[in-house]
């Protein structure tokens, strides 16, 4: 497992409040992600807290050596200004976790609400959202309570997506923005339902670790595979996503970066 070491993260050490440096896995978002504090010389894992000094079990021997060397250097010059980053200090556990902004935090950070509240895939609004039958009388969404219940069940926890990324997936109609792959569930009636079987991932065009914000202009719906391919540097994914990134930066650069770092 290789890690990118980022020199411009925006997070502070939970112990001493100094800036920390981040290590993100090159291959997978699910792999452990770490931070290093140069002042108190600790290494921590997001969501778990400080690792014992001699137990960097997830690191390769080379990486451990690199970390040791880096820790010895104690660079002073980095300026990390946190705001709107995905990295937050959790009050209770005193550790860093990566999580999405809540809708409230989003509004506070960007001075605007995020739209894409309700998603309705139906081309024809006279059909039931679940079974595709023609709606009767004054019904506008479901032909029956049963269909409403089934739909509710299918979308209930949004299949493991937090609210903000769910809004982004809704904006993108649950299609991968690179390949056009359909990332929504299709039910037994052949109807697309705005929920995903863990195929939806949301990519930050400007990486969080490079100052990228959670603003919707910085976020892109992609399939799990495309996302992995992009971060592994596979050409098709890099070309497609970087093209979008370039276009977005022309229009929305200010929103795509959190404050200070440009």
Per CB under 5 A, residues contacting Zn ion are 13, 15-16, 18, 37, 39-40, 128, 130-131, 133, 143, 147, 203
3-state SS, 199-262, equals CEEEEECCCHHHCECCCHHHEEEEEHHHHHHHHCCCHHHHHHHHHHHHHHHHHHHHHHECCCCC
Which tokens sit at 33? 């992600």
Least CB distance from residue 111 to Zn ion, whole Å?
A: 25
Q: Which is nearer to Zn ion, 13 or 184 (CB)?
A: 13
Least CB distance from residue 105 to Zn ion, whole Å?
A: 20
Least CB distance from residue 214 to Zn ion, whole Å?
A: 13
Q: How far apart are CA 186 and CA 183, in angstroms?
A: 9
Q: Which is nearer to Zn ion, 128 or 237 (CB)?
A: 128
Least CB distance from residue 94 to Zn ion, whole Å?
A: 11
| Sequence-ordered alpha helix ranges (H) in the chain | 61-73, 103-110, 145-155, 163-171, 224-231, 235-256
Q: Which is nearer to Zn ion, 55 or 145 (CB)?
A: 145
Q: Which is nearer to Zn ion, 114 or 128 (CB)?
A: 128
């Amino acid at each position: 497992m290789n890690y990118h070491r980022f020199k411009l993260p925006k997070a502070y050490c939970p112990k001493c409040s100094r800036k920390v440096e981040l290590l993100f896995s090159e291959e997978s978002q699910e792999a452990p992600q770490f931070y290093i504090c140069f002042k108190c010389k600790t290494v921590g894992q997001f969501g778990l807290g400080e690792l014992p000094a001699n137990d960097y079990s997830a690191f390769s021997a080379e990486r451990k050596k690199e970390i040791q060397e880096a820790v010895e250097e104690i660079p002073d010059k980095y300026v990390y200004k946190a705001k709107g980053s995905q990295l937050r200090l959790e009050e209770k556990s005193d550790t860093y976790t990566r999580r999405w902004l809540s809708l409230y935090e989003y509004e506070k950070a960007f001075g605007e609400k995020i739209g894409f509240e309700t998603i309705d895939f139906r081309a024809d609004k006279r059909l039931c959202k679940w079974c595709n039958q023609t709606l009767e009388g004054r019904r506008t969404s479901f032909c029956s309570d049963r269909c409403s219940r089934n739909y509710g069940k299918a979308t209930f926890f949004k299949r493991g997506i937090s609210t903000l990324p769910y809004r982004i997936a809704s904006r993108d109609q649950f299609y991968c923005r690179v390949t056009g792959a359909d990332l929504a569930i299709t039910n037994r009636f052949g109807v697309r339902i705005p929920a995903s079987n863990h195929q939806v991932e949301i990519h930050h065009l400007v990486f969080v670790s490079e100052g990228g914000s959670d603003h919707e202009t910085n976020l892109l719906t992609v399939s799990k595979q495309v996302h992995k391919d992009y971060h592994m540097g596979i050409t098709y994914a890099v070309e497609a996503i970087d093209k979008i990134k370039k276009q977005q930066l022309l229009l929305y650069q200010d929103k795509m970066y959190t404050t200070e770092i440009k």
